Structure 1
Amino acid sequence: MNSSSVPSLPSTVPPVPGGPKLWLLRHGETAWSRSGQYTGLTDIPLTEIGQEQARSAQRALDGVDFDLVLTSPLQRAHLTATLAGFPQAVVEPNAVEWDYGDYEGIDSAVVRARNAGYLIWDDGVPNGESLAQVAARADLIVERVRGLERHDGAPANVLLVAHGHFLRILTARWLGLPATAGRHFVLGTAKVCTLGWDKKTPAVEQWGL
């Protein structure tokens, strides 16, 4: 059968839904994200550039009807949610950034200067959270999102506003990959991503808008 004789699906046939979609928004720039310092639980504000980045992120989210908007309780994420158009975002305590322990506030270049082979994905952080602990928090959010159902049966849309390392780890877990695979998902400040499905298979639908 040649391609011209293959029947097309009627336009009324919907795509096969895999389940809820999870939209990710990293917070805007802070002084420490600009300088390269590890910023875990230190509750620092957005810079003026970061605030403008957060406002600009709204364009990538226009037209999406969100059933739930979640935010990390840290102010850089909460304000990003507000400036992006979601002032009523629900605080999700599990969405805080990795607790970097002794490396909190330390320039990552300084850490590598002391240990040229250092990679946070392999070596972790002294006196902070283990990667497994961060992944466990991410798994709770994935479970919460996938359990969300709409009354009309359509897949739900959820937005999560949080932090760089945490969202990268969550992405790996959404895909069923080990948390260490988060190293492959580079995510800039105030960038938007969508985690969804290829039919029934968890997939990245768009990254870093």
Structure 2
Amino acid sequence: MTDLYIVRHGETAWSKSGQHTSITDLDLTDDGVAEASAVREKLDRGDFGLVLSSPRLRARRTAELAGFGDAEVDENLAEWFYGDYEGMTSKQIREQVPGWRIWTHELPHGETRTQIIDRMTKVVARVRESGVDKAICFSHGHASRVLALCWLGIDVARGQSFPLTTGAVCVLGYEKESPAIVRWNA
């Protein structure tokens, strides 16, 4: 059974300010470069038989700095598309929609929960069918959480219970034959 490592990209100006960033293609801040470089010390490229990255610069750059410059771009790993909320903070959105949470509310002109679940389910299937011992995906805060929830078979609304810091490494695997979280925010 394959273990899946998930790495959230390093810090960007918008992740630092709390702005929702999906299609805006930002580079890493200096702190983000340091976070991504620190991943190199935690992981050995030779351990991974499948290396995937979101197409966004921040994820690809994190992969490169972490020693995985040969990561294959997988469009399914792109961040949840925020539509009209692109560039806004949760506080700004809640001024328009009180109590708004991405896990339970709609994204006007954005991606639905069903669409993001479908994308991440494809990634899970690809990893599980790969036959490798370890796979790694470089992705984003919300998309990575949905990926983990799909791995575990948990409703996406529970994503709020899995905060994910920039530059974090998470490991999904198994407890006996049951999908499990092995490490989170390491």
Shorter-normalised TM range = over 0.9
Alignment RMSD (CA, Å): 1.2
**Cα distance in structure 1, aligned partners of 2:95 and 2:61:** 34
Counterpart of 1:80 in 2: which secondary structure?
Answer: helix
**Cα distance in structure 1, aligned partners of 2:92 and 2:12:** 19
TM-score (norm 2): 0.96
Within-5 A mapping of 1:164-183: 164-183=141-160
Deviation for aligned residue 1:116? 2.8
1:69 paired with 2:51, answer yes
1:24 paired with 2:6, answer yes
1:144 paired with 2:138, answer no
Structure 1 stretches of 4+ moved >3 Å = none
List per-residue Cα deviations over 1:8-28 (Å, max 9, x = no partner): xxxxxxxxxxx1010000000
Letter in 2 for 1:123: H
1:121 paired with 2:103, answer yes
**Cα distance in structure 2, aligned partners of 1:139 and 1:63:** 25
List per-residue Cα deviations over 1:52-87 (Å, max 9, x = no partner): 110011222248610011000100000000000111
49-58 vs 133-142, which moves further: 49-58
The share of aligned pairs that are identical, in percent, is 44
- Which of 154, 157, 162 is residue 185 of structure 1 equivalent to? 162
Listed as ranges, the gaps of 5+ residues in structure 1 are 1-18, 151-155
Within-5 A mapping of 1:1-209: 19-62=1-44, 65-150=47-132, 156-209=133-186
List per-residue Cα deviations over 1:81-138 (Å, max 9, x = no partner): 0000111111111100011000001122111233331111111211100011001000
